[in-house]
Amino acid sequence: MSKKYFGTDGIRGRVGEHPITAEFMLKLGWATGRVLGRAGGDLVIIGKDTRISGYMFESALEAGLSAAGIDIRLLGPMPTPGIAYLTRTLHACAGIVISASHNPYFDNGIKFFSRQGTKLPDEVELAIEEELDKPMETVDSARLGKAERVPDAPGRYIEFCKSTVPMSLSLRGLKIAVDCANGATYGVAPSVFDELGADVVKVGTHPDGLNINRDCGSTRPEQLQKTVREHAADVGIALDGDGDRVIMVDSRGELVDGDELLFIIARSRRQQGKLSGSVVGTLMSNLGLEHALQAHGIAFERARVGDRYVLELLQQNGGTLGGESSGHIICLDRTTTGDGIVAALQVLTTMIQDGKPLHELKAGMKKYPQHMINVPVGRSVNLTAAPGVQEAVRAVERRLNGRGRVLLRPSGTEPVVRVMVEGEDEQTVREEAGHLATVVAAAV
């Protein structure tokens, strides 16, 4: 069955437009409570990022869950991976995250974690959607759910993050610029690195409900690059609005993206004999990552775009490490979901253990030039049946001669087909992408 509301990462949209309304969230809380209650659940935790609409949706979800007879624990502003962790340690039957991740403040969304700290199974999401179509009924007053806040939630998560690196690890002597995107990590991320001994320079730690991800964070790292240079920092860490992604900046002010961070962590795990299964990237992972891992005898597999699919493939092949170019890195030997702070700590640990700065660690991977063009389409298209497209793809692949890659991918969020070509020469890549985009545009 296809889902009506849930996408690959929960429910997301513009605030005030269905389904991102207070009315829908009330019903969603109730429907979720009904489904979880039938399975024996009695407690749900709710956390959020810093966007202003979080207050409204937190209250609506709380009311709906209570009407279904479910108790609630409110965490306040907390990173998404922190909510996953606390769902497990508080023995809740589910965790709810109110966040639109890297989107601007006028968007918001809801995503769920199971009692294991992983994404809800499809059958549970479908069951919730089925309840949404029913009239809302409130349980007897004596059975209404109760709500209370968890005042020590940030401290619990800070201690967890610190536990993912060796007890002997000290960041003393390192100056680290930390950009929290004016989002959910603004209170906890600086504390994690400070308590481990680093000299922390804060960026994006003054949320006002409207400035989340605005000219800061992992999607806009220019401010962090400038801060690293001005303060002569050893490294910069840029998180996104909900804290599940990280991009880093080396001491020269150069960006280190998710593919490069994944390579650094994977090589370190391999050297220590602690890497299980294949490393998992996505269809958009740079070809340079694949080649660099192969050079170190590390198997690599590609999943569909989206952390949900990376996690699924890791679970299938028994792997422990995967991620996306955007910086969503999953270390299953440390936690259950993508965690920007935890991933950054793994990289810092490697820097200290190897005695090398970040720019030297990333030098082991050569990124291939990659060019992508979005071709507008007015309808759903079948690229395998589009006239001339597959012939054009094969022609480009022949010209790349095994030293490049072609990807055609209909967007899941926009009416476009993404045409991507990567290879060793930037000019060739751009020319081939332009040629292929023209063929696709004519065919669709």
416: domain CATH number?
Answer: 3.30.310.50
8 A C-beta contact, residue 224 and residue 180: no
Could you say which of 151, 167, 190 is where a domain stops? Answer: 151
Nearest to 328 by CA among 259, 265, 275, 266: 259
Judge if 173 and 266 occupy the same domain: yes
Nearest to 335 by CA among 77, 102, 160: 160
How far apart, in whole angstroms, are the C-alpha atoms of residue 378 and residue 363? Answer: 42
Could you say which of 123, 151, 179 is where a domain stops? Answer: 151
How far apart, in whole angstroms, are the C-alpha atoms of residue 383 and residue 197? Answer: 53
- Is residue 142 helix, strand or coil? helix
Does 2 reside within a domain?
A: no
Judge if 259 and 179 occupy the same domain: yes
The pTM assigned to this predicted structure is: 0.94
8 A C-beta contact, residue 81 and residue 184: no
Could you say which of 96, 120, 151 is where a domain stops? Answer: 151
How far out from the chain centre does Cα 270 lie? 24
Residue 412 DSSP code: S
How far apart, in whole angstroms, are the C-alpha atoms of residue 26 and residue 138? Answer: 12
What pLDDT is recorded for position 142? 98
Judge if 211 and 62 occupy the same domain: no
Instruction: Tell me which residue range forms the domain holding 422.
Output: 370-443
Nearest to 151 by CA among 228, 77, 219, 241: 77
Nearest to 383 by CA among 322, 327, 444, 338: 444
Judge if 344 and 201 occupy the same domain: yes
End-to-end CA, the chain: 28
390 token code pair: 């597959």
Angle at 34 between CA 32 and CA 37, to 5 degrees: 105
What pLDDT is recorded for position 8? 77
Which are the contacts of 444, defined by CB distance < 8 A and separation ≥ 6?
375, 377, 381, 383, 386, 417
Nearest to 62 by CA among 103, 110, 18: 110
Judge if 52 and 185 occupy the same domain: no
Which are the contacts of 40, defined by CB distance < 8 A and separation ≥ 6?
93
**Residue 172 CB coordination number (10 Å):** 10
- What's the one-letter identity of residue 412? G
Does 5 reside within a domain?
A: no
Does 143 reside within a domain?
A: yes
Residues facing 302 on adjacent strands: 281
Does 21 reside within a domain?
A: yes
What pLDDT is recorded for position 377? 85
What pLDDT is recorded for position 50? 98
Residues facing 59 on adjacent strands: none
Angle at 13 between CA 10 and CA 16, to 5 degrees: 125
Residue that has been written with the tokens 């490697």 in this structure: 350
**Residue 395 CB coordination number (10 Å):** 16
Does 121 reside within a domain?
A: yes
Nearest to 265 by CA among 159, 338, 368: 338
Judge if 138 and 231 occupy the same domain: no
How far apart, in whole angstroms, are the C-alpha atoms of residue 16 and residue 185? Answer: 25
8 A C-beta contact, residue 247 and residue 327: yes
How far apart, in whole angstroms, are the C-alpha atoms of residue 269 and residue 331? Answer: 11
Does 3 reside within a domain?
A: no
94-98 and 370-376 beta bridge pairing? unpaired
Provide the domain count of the chain.
3
Residue 87 DSSP code: H
94-98 and 107-114 beta bridge pairing? antiparallel
Blockwise average pLDDT, block size 10, the chain, 444 residues: 84 96 98 97 97 98 98 98 98 98 96 94 94 97 98 98 97 98 98 98 98 97 98 98 98 98 98 96 95 97 92 95 97 97 98 97 95 86 80 93 90 82 94 94 85
Judge if 293 and 203 occupy the same domain: yes
* Residues designated as active site: 101
Does 118 reside within a domain?
A: yes
Judge if 19 and 102 occupy the same domain: yes
Judge if 377 and 357 occupy the same domain: no
How far apart, in whole angstroms, are the C-alpha atoms of residue 75 and residue 78? Answer: 7
Judge if 350 and 307 occupy the same domain: yes
Per the omega criterion (within 30 degrees of 0), is the bond before 190 cis? no
Judge if 329 and 384 occupy the same domain: no
Judge if 331 and 376 occupy the same domain: no
Q: Which CATH number fits the domain that encloses residue 81? A: 3.40.120.10
Nearest to 332 by CA among 302, 304, 312, 356: 312
What pLDDT is recorded for position 333? 96
Does 83 reside within a domain?
A: yes
